[in-house]
Amino acid sequence: MRILYIIDKMHNFAGMERILACKMNYLAVNTDYVVSLSTYEQYGNPIPFSLAASIHYEPMDVVIPSRDKMTLIHWAREYLKARRQFRLQYRQLLAKIDPYIVVCTGYSFQVMDIIVDEARRHRINVIVESHTKGETVTFAYKYSYNPKLKIIFRQWDKYIMHSLKDASCVVTLTKYDVSFWSKYVSRVEIIPNMLTINPVMVKDYRAKRIISAGRYMTEKGFDRLIEAWYIIKESRKNDEQLDGWQLYIYGDGDRTPYQKLVSKYGLEDSVHLEPATDNIAKIFSEGSFYVMSSRYEGFGLVLTEAMSCGLPCISFDCPYGPREIITDGVDGLLIENGNIKLLASAIEYLISDSDLRKTMGEKAAQNISRYGRDFVMPHWIRLFNSI
């Protein structure tokens, strides 16, 4: 069976790209599938994750324009031009590789109808992976700040989503995302992300170090985490129990707005905005607990990774993922989404009790084994074989 994975780009050092690389490697090594990969906005950048030698990489060269610096008419003209270029190159790619299944992600929404339509013409099956809260990939969501644009793009979204009637399946990471996709496709499967790191267990639950990680972008909510930390520091200025505690955030992206917030609140001595690391397991092992402040997630891979290292986790109960990963009060704490004061209280709660951190952390490491690759990947193999 020949399987072709298509993604817009693979040059970000981020969770979704790492997951995709691990899945392809697993299939290439553990099955007789012939696995290929194509990107269309890689711009010649290297792929930061190693791929099995048998995986064939065939990049396309298409630039999907951003509307940020264009008028609507100029953008529409360039977008339609890029779509024509994508269709031509994709058609040639299908003819060359002749896959049985094409797998794309929801991040290819701008050309997803083309991916499905051309595959249908070639009698090739398509599986769409949803790696984020479903509606966030649509144009209407991206331009929801502008009521007129939202109305215009909602119609275009309907056109693209209508193409999913010809897709074989949409795979979501959580049960809560099923309702969005089931309106457009007849088959929706739930397959969670698998663990992709080799766990390094927490060294000392008395360590005064809190960890968070993710791309420096609005959806990750690091502004909310910094505000929660400021609440704690202000309310417990003379509390010796808080002395020495440090908050470390790791990730790719623009740290500037978050650094400004740290400076605004005078937290430079206790909040550290770090770049992404290629050894996150080691970072987890040096912490005492983990905090996720995301506004929304597709799954919350970093939670499973932190828990596999024995870190208890505090997370907003955001859509989607944390509720399916954390057992509240057992291996972590779930906080009402957006309630920064409650987030601050939860952080204080774990700061106050190292024994509780240890108990929750040990339970976290036990409970998270259900996301191991040998548990998750057989679901993918059964799906491929059923199509």
Mean pLDDT of 34-50: 93
> Which DSSP string corresponds to 24-93?
HHHHHHHSS-EEEEEESS-TTPPPSS---TT-EE------PPPSTTS-HHHHHHHHHHHHHHHHHHHHHH
| Same domain flag for 106 and 175 | yes
| Same domain flag for 225 and 357 | yes
Mean pLDDT, the chain, rounded, equals 94
Residue 242's pLDDT band, with cuts at 50, 70 and 90, is confident
Task: Specify if 315 maps to a domain.
Answer: yes
Task: Specify if 203 maps to a domain.
Answer: no
| Same domain flag for 360 and 376 | no
| Same domain flag for 223 and 300 | yes
Query: What are 116-125's pLDDT values in tens digits?
Result: 999 999 999 9
CATH number, residue 166: 3.40.50.2000
| Same domain flag for 214 and 83 | no
Residue 56's pLDDT band, with cuts at 50, 70 and 90, is very high
pLDDT for the residue numbered 302: 93
Pairing relation of β-strands 313-316 and 246-250? unpaired
Task: Specify if 199 maps to a domain.
Answer: no
Q: Which of 64-78, 83-97, 255-269 has the lowest mean pLDDT?
A: 64-78
What count of residues does the chain have?
387
Helix (H, G, I), strand (E, B) or coil at 175: helix
Task: Specify if 131 maps to a domain.
Answer: yes
User: Domain residues for 337?
Assistant: 209-370
List, in sequence order, every residue forming a beta bridge with 247; answer none if it has no partner.
Answer: 210, 271
| Same domain flag for 176 and 218 | no
Task: Specify if 53 maps to a domain.
Answer: yes
